[in-house]
Structure 1
């Protein structure tokens, strides 16, 4: 199933998501659907709040973000109830975008390395270290389950300059080649 992507302005994107219980119904199917939705929208990560589910789950496939020298080193996996234990290394900037905020890209600075504890879809616990682009993708998606958007990292001036564009996105005035759910349109119905 391909879910519509929840657009900027929906309150679910600003909520601290809830842990997933081990008896969560059809978790593997949801993970598969999230991968399908992410690929359909040409994304490299997708968090559950982006499909209007306020639960601590995200999926990533960082392979498309790898440059020639790192080809084949991407990571494809689901992260359930993750917790970033450590962030270190030099902060580096990269122009990020978000499926919930189409057409907006801005430079965000993030630490180069993370240690994260999480469960996979079979409820096996992992503690892994990631760096570079994969760490960045994970940090971006992790922010979603914490109720943080990449635009929250921008300066006050940048936020003011983007305000009109963000308002238009929340009202459905945006070009996206995937189905979206807009908070302002939902209220009118």
Structure 2
């Protein structure tokens, strides 16, 4: 399988979204350039907490993998909530996806502004397909960017289950990413 080297939304674009704070950019570089530590996928929970998020696992309604909500007690005033009913691998991707909403869609200049991803009703939640796609692209850039997926594909000899374990995500996430790299999906 011939894979392209990069996704439409790549790590360079992620870095442009980040505040000028060198600490935050350093944490992102560390996470993306070293996806594995001590023989396993790097902890996304530790990564999110280092960025100032609190991370919670809760039972969420069917079809809701996670949400971003305001939290005055976390360092950056946001909490990432993931559905505890999901596999650990799916929860990992959900955390990165919610970080995508934070960095791509939330305005951080007004701490009292209404967060559109905050679930007020326990039953209803905000869905914008383009923003959901953009949050997925953000997560994919963090996990697979900088040629990480291409390199791992070679190391794992294209074995989907090994790739999923390598990145600590579901096989479905890896399959979607491979299709995007193979076809150039989303390329301008």
TM over 0.5: no
- Structure with the larger helix share: 2
- Structure with the larger strand share: 1
TM-score scaled by length of structure 2: 0.27
TM-score scaled by length of structure 1: 0.26
